[in-house]
């Protein structure tokens, strides 16, 4: 990763150009013009400018701007915030939780330490230290001879370590980069990230709008079918009648028809995604996590939509009404008509303007009404899906239980992609991970249904592929009851980000910028538990879960896929605990390889 030239950085410090300090979210250094809107960031970047995207915080709607930017700066969030996770995956520098950065009301400027930056001003960010500077600071790329020496050192490390090193990757490009950095598998492929692409987001949004109604109708018919299987003869006729009515409701339901159409479109996207990732990994293990994100992440913010609806209503009423503007334009045209008639072709010009003014009047009103209807429908959906605490709400396996068709679609896509590659001569064995499990009954309900879907898909394609179903251990109750859960799973992976958040009752997006750094500075905590595992608390839960699972099966596979998978001290603990692998972002794979070797040699201990 590029870093600032030490001499240039020191000169900037002496000149008083240090603007703010936040949390280093993703390593590396970058300079560019500050841009405070993702759409404008894309335009500036495509015109050849180097851009630093500056936001309060990022969300999935900002991803296109993050991709085009050279780096990201946010005033909120921590090491596991959206901005930090996405930029680490992309290999871009990022500073998060920069709370001394205060945005002005115009949305085009921000202040810190009595200084002002406006959109278009040059700034520089250091993702390792969290520092933000005014102006341009020269960066230095690693020397090729340094990389040659590093590769030799890593080859020695590989021969000394026991612990496997995998990577977190959501795209074929990420997977290829992970392999180039020495990853031996993919420990976490986050499928929700695949839905945030511009051409896919409308489909998942429509799915969320119609899914509950459609899924309830489908589930009602299935429950009657289930009752019918074991019903005595005296009840069968009545149940058959109920089933016929339920199936007719499904056949006549526009929601069900549209639900299946949207699922089919998303399945095609997902099949291509998984095919690319499996192919990039060339037969190495790939763990795919089924949809996990809180549902609100796929929707625009409530405040933004409310503002848009109010603005559209204003434009359709009173002084802001579109037709009123056209009427005023027509008045001006009439006033100027006598002058226009004096010039050549003036009469034709007046006739043309008059005709098109009427056309614009109708079109403007119709377009604004359509747009208002769309925004109001989206606002209604946002209100319907609103949760007070979405991170603890309707997400992960809970969505799989309430709308099982979504998980079934993902499983079909995974197995279809694996079968296609098997036909091409590449052996692929996907590992499918069910997230946010807190009770064994969630797995007891989901796993048989998903396994049946995988088997049906494989049989329909006539290709023999193997697959595993496992779960993330990221809820404290799951860790405490791991022995029960291990009976229903074929592997575990510790989701240490959420496990840390739930164990400490810390909001991972707020704690670092609000009080966690103060806790560390004043020795309330020895270290930031989101950066390095809390061995005595979170680690104890992991130890209990590992012990219980290995009591069920001594060879039970267990890994870790949170951000701790790239932290040396956390890796040492995982090695001591006997985990099979750690999984880190692609750019942290070399660090993990070295740390795993150092732990095996007793050079670092947790």
DSSP 8-class letter at 99:
T
Helices of type H across 386-495 = 397-402, 404-423, 440-461, 476-480, 482-486
Catalytic site residue from 82, 203, 296, 564: 82
What do you get for the CA distance between the two ends of the chain, in Å?
A: 27
Which candidate, 67, 62, 35, places its Cα nearest to that of 51?
Answer: 35
463: its two tokens: 């290709």
Residue pair 259/215 in contact by the 8 Å Cβ criterion: yes
Catalytic site residue from 94, 419, 561, 574: 561
- Is 237 one of the catalytic residues? no
Residue 533 CA to residue 539 CA, distance in Å, equals 7
Which candidate, 440, 474, 437, places its Cα nearest to that of 560?
Answer: 474
Helices of type H across 492-582 = 496-504, 511, 517-521, 538-552, 568-577
Residue 373 CA to residue 353 CA, distance in Å, equals 30
The two most distant CA atoms of the chain are separated, in Å, by: 98
Q: Name 186's Cβ contacts closer than 8 Å, sequence gap at least 6.
A: 166, 167, 168, 169, 175, 178, 277, 281, 284, 285, 286, 287, 583
Residue with tokens 């390593």: 27
- Is 561 one of the catalytic residues? yes
168: its two tokens: 């977190």
Residue pair 497/562 in contact by the 8 Å Cβ criterion: yes
Residue 333 CA to residue 327 CA, distance in Å, equals 10
306 C-beta neighbours (distance < 10 Å), count? 14
457 C-beta neighbours (distance < 10 Å), count? 20
CA within 13 Å, CB half, 231 = 15
Which candidate, 453, 446, 504, places its Cα nearest to that of 470?
Answer: 446
Positions marked active-site: 82, 561
């Amino acid at each position: 990763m590029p870093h600032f030239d030490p001499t240039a950085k020191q000169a900037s410090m002496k000149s008083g150009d240090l603007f703010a300090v936040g949390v280093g979210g993703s390593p590396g250094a970058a300079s560019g013009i500050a841009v405070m809107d993702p759409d404008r960031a894309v335009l500036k970047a495509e015109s050849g400018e180097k851009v630093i995207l500056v936001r309060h915080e990022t969300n999935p709607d900002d991803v296109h701007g993050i991709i085009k930017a050279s780096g990201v700066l946010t005033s909120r969030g921590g090491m596991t915030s959206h901005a930090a996770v996405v930029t680490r995956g992309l290999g871009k520098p990022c500073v998060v939780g920069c709370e001394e950065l205060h945005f002005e009301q115009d949305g085009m400027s921000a202040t810190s330490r009595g200084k002002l930056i406006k959109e278009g001003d040059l700034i520089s960010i250091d993702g390792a230290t969290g520092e933000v500077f005014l102006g341009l600071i020269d960066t230095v790329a690693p020397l090729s001879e340094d990389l040659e020496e590093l590769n030799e050192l890593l080859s020695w490390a590989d021969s000394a370590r026991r612990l496997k090193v995998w990577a977190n990757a959501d795209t074929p490009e990420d997977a290829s980069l992970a392999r180039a950095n020495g990853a031996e598998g993919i420990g976490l492929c986050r499928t929700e990230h695949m839905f945030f692409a511009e051409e896919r987001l409308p489909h998942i949004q429509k799915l969320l709008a119609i899914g509950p109604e459609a899924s309830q109708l489908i589930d009602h018919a299935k429950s009657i079918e289930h009752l019918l299987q074991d019903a005595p003869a005296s009840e069968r006729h009545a149940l058959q009648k109920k089933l016929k009515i339920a199936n007719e409701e499904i056949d006549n339901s526009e929601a069900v028809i549209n639900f299946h159409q949207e699922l089919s479109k998303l399945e095609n996207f997902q099949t291509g995604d998984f095919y690319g990732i499996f192919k990039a990994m060339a037969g190495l293990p790939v763990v795919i996590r089924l949809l996990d994100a809180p549902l609100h992440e796929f929707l625009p913010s409530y405040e933004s939509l409310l503002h848009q609806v109010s603005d559209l209503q204003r434009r359709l009423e009173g002084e802001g009404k579109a037709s009123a503007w056209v009427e005023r334009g027509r008045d001006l045209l009439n006033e100027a008509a006598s002058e226009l008639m004096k010039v050549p072709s003036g009469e034709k010009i007046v006739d043309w303007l008059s005709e098109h003014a009427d056309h614009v009047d109708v079109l403007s009103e119709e377009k604004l009404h359509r747009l208002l209807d769309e925004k109001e429908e989206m606002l209604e959906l946002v209100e319907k899906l609103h949760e007070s605490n979405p991170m603890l709400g309707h997400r992960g396996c809970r969505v799989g239980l309430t709308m099982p068709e979504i998980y079934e679609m993902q499983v079909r896509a995974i197995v279809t992609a694996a079968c296609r590659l098997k036909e091409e001569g590449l052996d692929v064995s996907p590992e499918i991970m069910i997230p946010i499990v807190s009770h064994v009954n969630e797995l007891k309900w989901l796993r048989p249904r998903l396994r049946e879907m995988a088997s049906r898909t494989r049989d329909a394609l006539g290709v023999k592929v193997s697959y595993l179903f496992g779960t993330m251990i990221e809820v404290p109750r799951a860790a405490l009851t791991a022995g029960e859960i291990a009976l229903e799973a074929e592997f575990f992976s510790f989701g240490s980000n959420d496990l840390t958040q739930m164990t400490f009752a810390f909001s991972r997006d707020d704690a670092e910028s609000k009080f966690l750094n103060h806790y560390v500075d004043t020795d309330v905590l020895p270290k930031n538990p989101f950066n390095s595992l809390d061995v005595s608390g979170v680690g104890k839960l992991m130890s209990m879960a590992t012990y219980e699972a290995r009591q069920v099966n001594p060879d039970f596979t267990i890994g870790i896929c949170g951000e701790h998978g790239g932290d040396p001290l956390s890796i040492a603990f995982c090695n001591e605990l006997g985990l099979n692998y750690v999984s880190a972002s692609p750019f942290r794979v070399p660090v993990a390889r070295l740390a795993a070797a150092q732990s095996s040699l007793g050079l670092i201990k947790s």
